[in-house]
Amino acid sequence: MTITFEAQLITYMKLLQSPKGILINFNCFNIFKEGQKTFVNEYFTSLPEK
């Protein structure tokens, strides 16, 4: 995963006003340990608590 993919995901999250995003790399041995990265932006703080 490069910085370009991370920047693209953050841009899409801001445009769609999505609070969370997951970047998944399928070109690795173990997806759950090294193949995914979770991003949270400022829209996450404005979500109502339940």
Q: List pLDDT tens digits, range 5-29.
A: 999 999 999 999 899 999 999 999 9
When the pLDDT of each residue in the chain is averaged and rounded to a whole number, the result is 88
Say yes or no to pLDDT of 47 above 80. Answer: no
Say yes or no to pLDDT of 32 above 80. Answer: yes
22, 40 Cβ separation under 8 angstroms: no
17, 43 Cβ separation under 8 angstroms: yes
Q: Is 26 among the domain residues?
A: yes
Say yes or no to pLDDT of 2 above 90. Answer: no
Number of domains into which the chain is organized: 1
Q: Is 49 among the domain residues?
A: no
Q: Which domain holds residue 38?
A: 3-44
Q: Is 38 exposed, middle or buried (0-12, 13-18, 19+ CB in 10 A)?
A: exposed
Q: Is 9 among the domain residues?
A: yes
Q: Is 50 among the domain residues?
A: no
